[in-house]
Amino acid sequence: MIASSRLHLFKPQRPISESDLPSPGIKLALLDLAIGKLTGAGYVHIGMDHFAKSHDELAVAQREGKLQRNFQGYSTDTDCDLLSFGISAIGKVGATYSQNVRILDDYYDRLDADALPCFPGWQLSADDLLRRDVIQALMCQFTVPFERLEAVHAIVFHEYFATELEALKRLVDDGLIEIASDAIIMTRRGRLLVRTVAMVFDYYLREQREQREQALYSRVI
């Protein structure tokens, strides 16, 4: 489905009027209809808008709690390095991310100069790695187990994510998630909106929103 907020990013989509696109409610109903049709035909809804036959390795990996997600989508591979080739491709090596330049001439110029054709990369902090694990758990398993994350990252989940847990209360009220003493669990309805739940744990998204709100407040003052 076309995301109306991103129409301006792609030239072929710019002529599309947002008023011609279905409303969020209709989009959700269409997704629910598609899920019902596909699961009725023997497919497993493994996450977001991805499906696989019950015997497929992706569905098996999800049942066994081993499903992974990377820039290419869902995968059965454990956390591994991804090498990027071509313009705009995103790579992941260890605890770092990098993206290749977006202009083809720039890409070849850098290769000709024996230089990596990428922007400055990003070194993930301990907080980045923790939040990545939380979002992976939501998108791949539809549940966030507190005890495992606490053991791996040496945190107390309720204390570390106090702000996020407070923000999640409205999603509990909306019936998208349940918060137990030991886990966050996506409901069937919530699985349709897993991105919305995952966004709560995106620190950079929250920081950008707070900066925009602060800028607006400053202009008003």
Q: Which two tokens stand for residue 34?
A: 């598609």
Would residue 71 be called left, alpha or beta, if left means φ above 0 and alpha means ψ between -120 and 50 degrees? alpha
What pLDDT digit, counting tens, does each position of 79-104 carry? 788 898 999 999 999 899 999 999 99
- Give the residue, 82 or 146, on which the prediction is more confident: 146
Distance, CA of 39 to CA of 51 (rounded, Å) = 8
Would residue 175 be called left, alpha or beta, if left means φ above 0 and alpha means ψ between -120 and 50 degrees? left
pTM of the model: 0.80
Report the pLDDT value the prediction gives residue 81, as an integer from 0 to 100.
87
Is the predicted pLDDT of residue 132 greater than 70, yes or no? Answer: yes
SS (H, E, C) the chain: CCCHHHHHHCHHHCCCCHHHCCCHHHHHHHHHHHHHHHHHCCEEEEECCEEEECCCHHHHHHHCCCCEEECCEEECCCCCCECCCCCCCEEEECCEEEEECCCHHHHHHHHHCCCCCECCCEECCHHHHHHHHHHHHHHHHCEEEHHHHHHHHCCCHHHHCHHHHHHHHHHHHCCCEEECCCEEEECHHHHCCHHHHHHCCCHHHHHHHHHHHHHHHHHHC
Nearest-10 crossing angle of helices 126-141, 146-153: 150
Report the pLDDT value the prediction gives residue 16, as an integer from 0 to 100.
80
What pLDDT digit, counting tens, does each position of 182-207 carry? 999 999 888 888 989 999 999 988 87
Taking alpha carbons only, the member of 73, 117, 123, 131 closest to residue 97 is 123
Residue ranges of domains in the chain, CATH in brackets: 7-70 (no CATH), 81-124 (no CATH), 125-221 (1.10.10.920)
Q: What are phi and psi of 60, to 5 degrees?
A: -65, -45
Q: What are phi and psi of 155, to 5 degrees?
A: -130, 170
- Give the residue, 173 or 21, on which the prediction is more confident: 173
